[in-house]
Amino acid sequence: MEKIYENKEQFIEQYRQHVRALSGKEFEDTSDIDRFTALANMVAGDARVIAAKTDERNRTEGKKRVYYFSIEFLIGRLLDNYLLNLGIRDLVADAIADMGGDLDEIERQEPDPALGNGGLGRLAACFLDSMAHEGIAGYGNGMRYRYGLFKQEIVDGRQVEVADEWLSKGYPWEVKRPDKAVRIGFGGHVVSRQEGDRTFYSVEGTDDVLAVPYDIPIVGYGGETVNKLRCWSAEPIDDHFDLDAFNAGDYTGADRDRANAEAISAILYPNDAGEHGRLLRLKQEYLFVAAGIRTLLDTFEREHGKAWNELPRYVAIHTNDTHPAMCGPELMRILMDEEGLTWDDAWEIVTNTVSYTNHTILPEALEKWPISTFSTLLPRVYQIIDEINRRWRESFDMSKPESAERLRATAVLWDGEVRMANLSVICSHSVNGVAKIHSDILKASTLKDFAAMRPEMFNNKTNGISHRRFFAEANPTYAKLVTEAIGDGWLDDARELEKLTAFEGDPAFLERVGASKLANKQRLADYVKRECGLTIDPNTVFDVQVKRFHAYKRQLLNIMKVMDLYNRRLADPNFKIQPTTFIFSGKAASSYTFAKEVIRLINGVAEVINNDPRVNDVIKVCFIPNFRVSNAQLIYPAAEISEQISTAGKEASGTSNMKLMMNGALTLGTMDGANIEIVDLAGRENEAIFGLTTPEVDALRASGQYFAWDVVNSDRARLGRIIDQLLDGTFAGLSGNFESIHHELMFNNDYDLVLKDFHSYVDAWESLTATYPDAQDWNRRALHNTAMSGWFSSDRTIREYRDEIWHA
Ligand code: B1N
């Protein structure tokens, strides 16, 4: 790796200059926020120098460019990550200590941009890191929301949402590029004009806004490649500021155009795998798609002229879920309306360029828009979709018996709606799921008709995680131990972690693995003390479930287990419980009442148990507010049990399961999503698997023979008691009983099979924790999980995308 700074002294001199230039003060007189801004500015400058070299290299080598379109990029803090990737983290930490500062404190000043909801957005960010590491010319294309995902506060046990003003102190990583702005038209009407035998279409009378890009450098590990993430913001076209209105005292009226335009990029919709349907969301989807497509075509044209048929050779457009589904139609529009290509030529180019990843089979998350809304907002794009749909229908041989059903299942326009998943599939040459079982379910059910017609386009790309961020950076004590044992090649190639298996029989090494875990637990305990005022004991088992709140993820099952342990201990003080701290963290969509009630239940149970001296020496419950990338990096390294307990068949992949495995937690989980691949890699004996499998869930549902009441009645003593406690005031102290949860279980017949899996789950937890006192064997299993987790590096995932989908 080329050194950016010869030595500490050189770094210090330059850093001092940056601090002076930005704050007008000497380093010693500045606050940590000034120090952060100066350091980030300086590193961003270094990154842009490498970015220019990367660009030059890509151009001369004629590299294929990959554009990753995603409506979310949950990038987290960048400073520490970039210091690590540039190979100067230790040098900078040392130098700043010499100057009398503290790098950790400086790093804590960085805003944690919440431009994503959960797994999908974080995956996109891990992919950027890995594309840069693999030397791919890969670009993120997304949205710059003024307000990221809401901040979560807990008041009387309830989630309260507060605006996330992540930009209020400035964001030194981004550079605004007004010269690259793109005009985006909404509404209007389609007009046609004849030229010879060809009809050309355009739209008149549109309401236009300006999409303005902000670029963030993406620094790859090794410092060879710096790519970029381009996020689009909406602004009014010219200054339509109305001076007369202003002078007449109508201040809001004077600025109406600005407010209307800026509304498009004001907020991130807080639904993770949930329903959508708002007009503003559709505007967001078109804005970042249209601006991104225009930009990539301009770049192509600069390098290759108007040789559009070469586009698939030099450009790959990847659509992360259906939110960028308009990539296909928008590219068609430009190639035909502006470049004069025929439908057939344009279609050939589009379908060889675009590819699509599906992230969920939950029916409520499959995006659909009313045709009336769509065609009014985007008349020409809609017209193209209508034609795509017409040609698709025409391709069916209706004399075949299966055709009618296939057409119904695969049509883009149906029942007055635009079905975005079907549009995505039809416009693509590749469709992938995000874990083996998920890809199989797509082929066998969700997209089975497409799979029957075009099996070759379906493939699997099991998700991955940035092992540099979520292991090297998040867990420095363990990472140091690993590097001492096997060298630091694993940073570059995570499969080298497998060399750690050689240490599974080394008691001294295992002891150090345990000591590192204890230090991480202490670090988290300090954070919890600071943030929640709660004391938790690092000598108890840290049992962790951190992810979005959703019924299918079954945080409810977890807290019911805690209620059960509590009840049994009160009934029998000799009932043995391995002392455990149950840690929960995660947000619920603001409109998702049931998920918010589960958060309230967890806090209600915590309030009772944590204050009951009869049990709080063996059980504590801790809800950490405002889960986000930055505190996730404190939580994963402290975990010993990884709760991955979704109803089988529902979690497409999960990625916290991988992060926790890598940090040495044992998985307590169902055979769902990537848990199955974790078990394949690390061995079932090193995890704790319970519950119904996907075929068993399907069979039970199909039988119509599941009755929640019967399950509860067969165990009045334990399950019956828990169900009663939802209503009888036991946990109502903070803010009341839990009628809607009771109703869901008993009167909605427990859709997510919480009651069905309850006993097998609690038994699995008890057996697993019973093995905890044998610290050496526990540490061995933890180390084994880390050793086998390298396959889950997103570097591996990205190489598969590169070789099998993008051919870059
Ligand atoms: O994507 C992750 C997976 O690991 C998770 O299993 C999956 O639940 C998650 C609409 C989504 N699926 N769908 C979404 C997010 C936001 C939105 O507006 C859908 N997120 C997932 C990464 O593959």
Residue whose Cα lies nearest atom 1 of ligand 1: it is 120
The CA distance from 356 to 805, in Å, is 10
Strands 666-669 and 641-644: parallel
Residues 319, 212: contact at Cβ < 8 Å? Answer: no
117 lines ligand 1 (CB under 6 A): yes
- Spell out the domains of the chain, with CATH numbers in brackets: 1-61+79-111 (no CATH), 62-76+112-429 (3.40.50.2000), 535-771 (3.40.50.2000)
656 lines ligand 1 (CB under 6 A): no
657 lines ligand 1 (CB under 6 A): no
359 lines ligand 1 (CB under 6 A): yes
The CA distance from 760 to 790, in Å, is 30
- Separation of 717 CA from ligand 1 center, angstroms? 38
Please name the helix (run of DSSP H) or strand (run of DSSP E) that holds residue 668, with its range, or none: strand 666-669
Amino acid at 35: R
463 lines ligand 1 (CB under 6 A): yes
Residue whose Cα lies nearest atom 10 of ligand 1: it is 273
Residues 521, 540: contact at Cβ < 8 Å? Answer: no
122 lines ligand 1 (CB under 6 A): no
- Separation of 776 CA from ligand 1 center, angstroms? 37
Residues 211, 291: contact at Cβ < 8 Å? Answer: yes
- Separation of 794 CA from ligand 1 center, angstroms? 16
Chain centroid, CA 150 distance in Å: 15
- Separation of 415 CA from ligand 1 center, angstroms? 26
The CA distance from 302 to 306, in Å, is 9
**In this predicted structure, what is the pLDDT of residue 723?**
98
Please name the helix (run of DSSP H) or strand (run of DSSP E) that holds residue 148, with its range, or none: none
Average confidence (pLDDT) per 10 residues, the chain, 808 residues? 87 97 97 98 97 96 98 98 97 98 98 97 98 98 98 98 97 98 98 95 98 98 97 90 88 89 96 78 98 98 97 98 98 98 98 98 92 98 98 97 97 98 98 98 97 98 98 98 98 98 98 98 98 97 98 99 98 98 98 98 98 98 98 99 99 98 99 98 98 98 98 98 98 97 98 98 98 98 99 99 98
The backbone torsions φ and ψ at residue 624, rounded to the nearest 5 degrees and listed phi first, read: -90, 115
- Separation of 143 CA from ligand 1 center, angstroms? 17
Residues 644, 659: contact at Cβ < 8 Å? Answer: no
Which SS3 state, helix, strand or coil, does residue 171 take?
A: coil
The CA distance from 605 to 613, in Å, is 14
ipTM of the prediction: 0.99
Residue 396: closest CA among 409, 383, 415: 409
Residues 6+ positions from 747 with CB-CB distance below 8 Å: none
Residue whose Cα lies nearest atom 15 of ligand 1: it is 272
Atom of ligand 1 nearest to the CA of 438: 6
The CA distance from 634 to 102, in Å, is 18
pTM of this structure = 0.98
Report residue 720 as tokens: 């019956």
